[in-house]
């Protein structure tokens, strides 16, 4: 059997990860990160990190939020860097990472976990090493500013929970024009290419967007546009099957309850 050049998994775990869809219902979020309106789970991030890297390699999240990727990287024994535009989230991420390092103790001695408060569009302003893997999830356009969803209504009733990322003009979630948003988002990912190791993977967790009675195929558009810079290798569908159904369009129109995300796998091949 040829040596495993990609990760430290045994054949059984490798084969299980290759299934094109999976169900993952996140555990309850810690109180400290509830303020962030759109966080993906560390438990899921760890599975991706352990497949696409070996122990001791380096992971980057250019839109780190409250640090899910970096916490997962610590648990997996990987170095990690995160860039986060919002100072409040960057500070929460640092606190979460410090708490995780304390919990893991000697097992993570020597590993780097660094949060940079800055703009991912200016990646070369920051002292980053060559990266072995990128795992990230972008804003889903400006949907956090939509007032209609039940989740947003609940968050608006609480003074402690954010209903959008920030008011920073550099925040992608504040761009109203879809094509302008897409172009800037893809440009950020393209800008990572010089620091991404050759043949390293980039995973983007994203969802198509419904707005104004139509669907904007954000995942598919990212796949098409970013595929001009990296090779789009595959996708995995993340399904949540514990969500409450709502009677959208009942009796008059088709409106789905959308409980899946696309995990797009790109590779830096040229």
Whole-prediction pTM: 0.88
Distances (CA, A) of 153 to 133, 242, 249: 36, 20, 19
CA–CA distance, 215 with 140 (Å, rounded to integer)? 12
Secondary structure letter of residue 233 according to DSSP? E
CA–CA distance, 74 with 48 (Å, rounded to integer)? 13
Domains recognised in the chain with CATH numbers: 32-267 (3.40.50.150)
Per the DSSP assignment, residues forming a β-bridge with 131 are 196
Per-residue confidence in pLDDT tens, the chain, 270 aa: 678 999 999 999 999 999 999 999 877 756 554 454 556 789 999 999 999 999 999 999 999 999 999 999 999 999 999 999 999 999 999 999 999 999 999 999 999 999 999 999 999 999 999 999 999 999 887 665 565 555 445 544 545 554 444 566 777 888 889 999 999 999 999 999 999 999 999 999 999 998 888 899 999 999 999 999 999 999 999 999 988 999 988 999 998 999 999 999 999 997
């Amino acid at each position: 059997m040829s040596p495993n050049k990609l990760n430290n998994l045994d054949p059984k775990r490798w084969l299980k990860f290759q299934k094109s869809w999976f169900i993952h219902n996140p555990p309850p979020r810690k109180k400290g990160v509830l303020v962030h309106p759109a966080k993906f789970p560390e438990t899921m991030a760890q599975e991706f990190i352990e497949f696409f890297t070996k122990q001791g390699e380096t992971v980057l999240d250019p839109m780190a939020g409250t640090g899910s990727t970096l916490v997962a990287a610590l648990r997996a024994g990987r170095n990690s860097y995160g860039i986060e535009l919002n100072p409040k989230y960057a500070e929460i991420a640092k606190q979460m990472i410090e708490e995780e390092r304390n919990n893991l103790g000697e097992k993570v001695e020597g590993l780097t976990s660094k949060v940079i408060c800055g703009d991912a569009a200016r990646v070369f302003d920051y002292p980053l090493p060559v990266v072995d893997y990128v795992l990230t999830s972008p804003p889903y356009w400006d949907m956090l500013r939509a007032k209609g969803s039940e989740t947003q209504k609940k968050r608006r009733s609480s003074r402690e929970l954010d209903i959008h990322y920030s008011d920073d003009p550099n925040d992608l979630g504040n761009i109203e024009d879809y094509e302008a948003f897409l172009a800037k988002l893809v440009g950020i990912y393209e800008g990572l290419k010089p620091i991404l190791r050759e043949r390293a993977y980039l995973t983007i967790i994203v969802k198509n967007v419904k707005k104004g009675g139509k669907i904007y195929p954000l995942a598919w558009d990212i796949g098409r546009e970013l595929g001009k810079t990296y090779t789009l290798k595959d996708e995995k569908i993340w399904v949540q099957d514990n969500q409450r159904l709502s009677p959208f369009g009942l009796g008059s129109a088709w409106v789905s309850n959308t409980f899946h995300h696309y995990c797009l796998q790109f590779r830096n091949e040229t």
